[in-house]
Amino acid sequence: MRIGVSISSTHPFNAPQLMIERARLAHESGFSSLTIGDHHNMAAPYAQNTPMLGRLLAEWPDRPAGCLFLVPLWHPLLMAEQIGTLAATHTDRFIVQTAIGYGESQFAAFGTTERTRGQVIDEAIPAVKRLLAGETIDSDFFDIVGGRVGLRSDRPIEWWIAGGSQVALERAARLGDAWYGQPSVDVATGRRLLEAYRTAGGQSGIVRKDALVLEDGDSARSVAGELIAAGYRGLSTNQLIIGSPDDAAEQLAAYASVGFDEVVIRTMSVPQELALETLALTGVMNGTIG
């Protein structure tokens, strides 16, 4: 099983610098892929996906990389142009992660609503794919006339499509190269959702996990326990990777055992030194689990 890394984009101070440092160490530690997220209309400092990834690619020259797009908040032509430039910049496979998005405040800020997001993502993904294939497209749905993308890459673009509903699993099987499970997916839930996804015709399963892995496993459990008690992302212990390197290897092996091809690690919201220790200890596990 592969182990990739997702670099958190939210930090109270110095977000770009912290992300660069984490990406550099993640590459040195051996992670298989690098990705970052996508959110909008944020009160907290948040490094936006496409410009930040452009900088991080300088630290990640030779392995798959990409970013998340909350597709209903992006015009398909703009999304395709951003992907085209990033993919042309990179020297390896580019990953497009897609999600439907949530939070009416995000949608309202763009003059739209959550109510239409399912229809929008189903229309947008094929449109973006056609643009990235070099087609000139018209779309009554998006009011596109003669849309095209001039800068593209001949290297493969891989689509990871997120979501836990039956509709989302079928979308991932129909339009994607992989289903991308959210951090709340535990081992038992992952087994059930992977079965439904593969029944729908899907192949590759990937899941993201927040993690805190330290040489002192008791210290990791103590720090993580305080965060969980404070309501950390609504997640519970069985949905996280927590403890010593041996603990983490055992927990990751459980995801491999139910059929996941890759686990993408994002460090829990901890000080930089603990995040870097987590990355150093988990990156070296890439390719050794399962």
Domain spans of the chain? Answer: 2-283
pLDDT at 4: 98
CB 145 within 8 A of CB 137: no
pLDDT at 169: 98
Rounded to two decimals, what is the model's pTM? Answer: 0.96
Say if domain 2-283 classifies as CATH 3.20.20.30. Answer: yes
- Write out pLDDT tens, residues 105-137: 889 998 998 999 999 999 999 999 999 999 999
pLDDT at 142: 97
Phi (first) and psi of residue 101, to 5 degrees: 80, 160
pLDDT at 103: 86
Residues of the chain with pLDDT under 70: none
Instruction: Please state, in angstroms and rounded to a whole number, the distance separating the CA atoms of residues 235 and 157.
Output: 31
Average pLDDT, the chain: 97
CB 126 within 8 A of CB 175: yes
pLDDT at 151: 97
Phi-psi region of 22 (alpha: psi -120 to 50; beta: other; left: phi over 0): alpha
pLDDT at 290: 85
CB 266 within 8 A of CB 23: no
Instruction: Please state, in angstroms and rounded to a whole number, the distance separating the CA atoms of residues 270 and 282.
Output: 16
Three-class DSSP category at 282: helix
